[in-house]
């Protein structure tokens, strides 16, 4: 399943649309935090409209090609690709659930 999922990166997980997030390359490292928040808000907004998204850092391996095809100047840095579409909930891949850490594993409460 992992190999199949990796290959699916190349065709946007069969989604009909893709969004690419770029940032000006002159921005500081902290701007990655900003665009990360933006990306999550975008994914939540899409979800609220019934759309599924797949964030794909993989796209950055092909930043040069993506920028060339889309006519994006070299002064921009590709941060993330997002495949977007209505999810096929019958597809087995969409039934796969990643594990979640328990809150106690990632949070320490002080009283
Ligand atoms: C910032 C970010 C980048 C990711 N990049 C990829 C990627 O390039 N290819 C991929 O198959 N999954 C990538 N993933 C993982 C999937 O998009 C998705 O998070 C994973 O299937 C688990 O989904 P879930 O967190 O809803 O369980 C990335 C996730 C995040 C948060």
Give the percent of the chain with pLDDT over 90: 79
Using alpha carbons, select from 4, 21, 16, 10 the residue that is nearest to residue 94: 4
What is the pLDDT at residue 95? 86
State pTM to two decimals. 0.89
Tokens of 97: 């659930």
Answer yes or no: is pLDDT of 13 > 70: yes
CATH classification code of 2-106: 3.40.109.10
Domain coordinates of the chain in residue numbers?
2-106
Closest C-alpha to ligand 1, atom 7: 56
What is the pLDDT at residue 1? 65
Pocket of ligand 1 (CB under 6 A): 5, 9, 54-58, 98
Average pLDDT, integer, range 44-63: 96
Burial of 85 (0-12, 13-18, 19+ CB in 10 A): middle
Q: Using an 8 Å Cβ cutoff, are 53 and 83 in contact?
A: yes
pLDDT tens sequence across 71-104: 999 999 999 999 999 999 898 878 889 999 999 9
């Amino acid at each position: 399943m992992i190999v199949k999922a990796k290959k699916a990166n190349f065709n946007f997980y069969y989604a009909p649309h893709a969004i690419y997030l770029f940032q000006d390359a002159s921005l500081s490292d902290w701007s990655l935090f900003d665009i990360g928040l933006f990306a999550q808000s975008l994914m939540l907004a899409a979800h609220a409209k019934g759309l599924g998204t797949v964030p794909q850092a993989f796209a950055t391996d092909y930043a040069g090609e993506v920028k060339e095809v889309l006519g994006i100047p070299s002064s921009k840095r590709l941060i993330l690709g997002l495949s977007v579409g209505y999810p096929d909930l019958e597809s087995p891949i969409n039934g796969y659930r990643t594990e979640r850490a328990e809150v106690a594993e990632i949070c320490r409460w002080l009283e």
